[in-house]
Structure 1
Amino acid sequence: MLVISSIAKEDRWMELQQLRYVVAVAELSSFTKAAARCFVVQSALSHQVKALEKELGVTLFARTSRRVELTAAGRAFLPGARASLDAAERAGDEAAAAVGEVRGRLTVGMIPTVTAVSVPAVLKEFRDAHPHVRVALQVGGSDTIAAEIAAGETDVGLLGLPAGREPRGVDWRQIGSDRLVAVLARQHRLADHESIGIDDLAQEAFADFPVGSPGRAQSDLAFSAAGISRDVPFEAMSTEILLDLARENLAVTLLPSRYVRADDGLVAVPVVDGPSRVEYLAWSEFNLSPAARAFLRLL
């Protein structure tokens, strides 16, 4: 239980529970849903929000029988409310860590093609050691994950970047590297080759990650270095979609060799002079949570 139970405002007090209620209503746009999330009857939650509004001297929510939304004052109040709740939770986590118990939340950002570590295996070991930590996994692009780590929104990241390009704005350690292979439908004209050159793919239609993303840059840089302009009519962040497009022989896609598993509809062919990528573990030493420190020690 947290020692901190309320926050002083002049000669009045804002209860942390009131802040939790305000955040829940703001996120769900509903007093009914907020009450269900907070495991409290709606009348009690509404009473506490009204009491807080009276204390503050402002209206936080505009209410009708069908609609609830933040007022200008509510929008201004919300970031501080969230920060206060995070600080209170962090204080409890740090106190528990001082006596050897790691708890709290851990947010892990990861690219969709992690191969340097087995994420499920690592999480099992982490969960066995620290069963009171709740883990949120978020899949996205390396640049986005690094920016979220720098902003304190994500604790740890598993990134993939083109060879020669290091993560920016975060602490990092290299954990692996790999070359990309051409993933083709079994009926593709190049499917029976033991290996191909990047020029063999010059006339192909490609399915790739969105332009500007690090996943896309790995291939774009390789083709640019070879002086080849390629056609990319299909873009998606989902590797499953990229593989499905290749399986239907609509396009060729390039993915890390250790990520691709050949099946009845697909083959993976090495590209001799093709793209490569490096995987990194990324974090920020600034204000690491106990859960993040424990996760980094494990990795």
Structure 2
Amino acid sequence: MDLQQMRYVLAVAETASFTRAAERCHIVQSALSHQVARLEKELGARLFDRTSRRVRLTTAGEAFLPSARQALEAAERARAEVAAATGEIRGTLTVGSIPTVAAVDLPAVLRDYRLRYPQVGISLRAGSSERFVEQVRDGRLDAAFLGVQPGFRPQGVRDKELAHGHHVAVVAPGHPLAAEDEVDLRLLAEEVFVDFADGSAARAQSDQAFAAVGLRREVAFEVSGIELMVRMVRHGLGIALLPAAFAAELHGLRCVPITNGPIRVERLIWGRFTPSPAASAFLSLLGVSMPSPPA
């Protein structure tokens, strides 16, 4: 078997179509199908069940896929290491970030990185802090920006604290709280809230602040994205608790400081093992120095 055959199998698995896989790989479908069939013959097992309506992995195909991905990643890493040895940074960089990151100007960092290392392909993934820890640990992300509680330390990864700040109450301009210079959690507990999903790290920061003083609040609206949360607050459907540094950038809303309010820590995480040249360059741009290899 060769790496190109593995790429074809991966493309078919991800698109669930030989036609779309061929388009992605810039090859005619008959040639792609022929290469997959050759690989199946060599392995002595069918990797895909094909019908007129769908294509899906067989049990053998599901077993083959993780190792094929690892082989392709290893090959890409080898190319990147050779290029780095000659002074050129190339390869891929995949970064995860919560939507409310404020400790760094992420678009500016990515712009500077692209200018310095134009041969690196950059991908940015949105998501939750708890999922990012797993994805960095598994090698699916090179690095990620988290927003967590002060006592939270991600397991199985390396990390660096970037910022430590308080939440504010975000309300519509016409809301009664908009005229306040500061509010107490007891007063906020009477309000209706728009917040992230129950059980998420973003939600836990606020829930535990109320629980710590023996208060309960009503989260009537759960959302998955910050854009919808902000729109609902603007329409007066509820109020939100957001990090002060991030909320300050929101237009048309009032941010009110909270007495003994929730605290959020932003952390940068990356893998425990030696990062790729592209990832090392990104971490260096953020002030993370990699230890020199032993002589």
CA–CA distance in structure 1, aligned partners of residues 264 and 62 of structure 2? 42
Deviations 1:115-150 (A, max 9, x none): 000001100111111111111111111111112111
Instruction: Give the match for residue 150 of structure 2.
Output: 163
CA-CA distance at 1:287 after TM superposition: 3.5
Is the 2:11–2:21 contact (alpha carbons within 8 Å) kept by the matching residues of 1?
A: yes
2:87 is equivalent to residue 123 of structure 1: no
CA–CA distance in structure 1, aligned partners of residues 171 and 68 of structure 2? 52
Aligned residue identity for 1:241: L
Instruction: Give the match for residue 235 of structure 2.
Output: 248
Name the CA shift for 1:164/1:79 in 2 (closer, same or farther; >3 Å): closer
CA–CA distance in structure 2, aligned partners of residues 93 and 262 of structure 1? 40
CA–CA distance in structure 2, aligned partners of residues 131 and 262 of structure 1? 32
Aligned residue among 200, 207, 225 for 2:187: 200
Aligned residue among 38, 41, 46 for 2:25: 38
Instruction: Give the match for residue 110 of structure 1.
Output: 97
CA-CA distance at 1:262 after TM superposition: 4.7
- For structure 1, the 5+ residue unaligned runs are 1-13
Instruction: Give the match for residue 220 of structure 1.
Output: 207
Superposition pairs for residues 52-91 of structure 1, below 5 Å? 52-91=39-78
Is the 2:129–2:147 contact (alpha carbons within 8 Å) kept by the matching residues of 1?
A: yes
Aligned residue among 114, 120, 125 for 1:138: 125
Deviations 1:154-174 (A, max 9, x none): 110111112233333221111
CA–CA distance in structure 1, aligned partners of residues 63 and 271 of structure 2? 28
Instruction: Give the match for residue 101 of structure 1.
Output: 88
Instruction: Give the match for residue 163 of structure 2.
Output: 176
CA–CA distance in structure 1, aligned partners of residues 216 and 180 of structure 2? 23
Percentage of pairs with the same residue: 52
Aligned residue among 226, 251, 254 for 1:263: 251
TM-score, length-scaled by structure 2:
0.93
CA-CA distance at 1:66 after TM superposition: 2.7
CA–CA distance in structure 2, aligned partners of residues 230 and 213 of structure 1? 16
CA–CA distance in structure 1, aligned partners of residues 271 and 285 of structure 2? 16
- For structure 2, the 5+ residue unaligned runs are 287-295
CA–CA distance in structure 2, aligned partners of residues 63 and 90 of structure 1? 33
Count of matched residue pairs: 285
> Which stretch of structure 1 is more off in the superposition, 37-46 or 52-61?
52-61
Aligned residue identity for 2:215: I
Deviations 1:263-293 (A, max 9, x none): 33x2111112211111111112313111111
Per the alignment, in what secondary structure is the counterpart of residue 167 of structure 1? Answer: coil
Aligned residue identity for 2:16: S
CA-CA distance at 1:45 after TM superposition: 0.8
Aligned residue identity for 2:71: S
CA–CA distance in structure 1, aligned partners of residues 21 and 210 of structure 2? 52
CA–CA distance in structure 1, aligned partners of residues 196 and 172 of structure 2? 19
Instruction: Give the match for residue 266 of structure 2.
Output: 279
Is the 2:156–2:272 contact (alpha carbons within 8 Å) kept by the matching residues of 1?
A: no
CA–CA distance in structure 2, aligned partners of residues 208 and 19 of structure 1? 43
> Which stretch of structure 1 is more off in the superposition, 284-293 or 112-121?
284-293
Deviations 1:73-101 (A, max 9, x none): 21221111111111111111111111111
> Which stretch of structure 1 is more off in the superposition, 161-170 or 37-46?
161-170
Instruction: Give the match for residue 279 of structure 2.
Output: 292
Name the CA shift for 1:222/1:94 in 2 (closer, same or farther; >3 Å): same
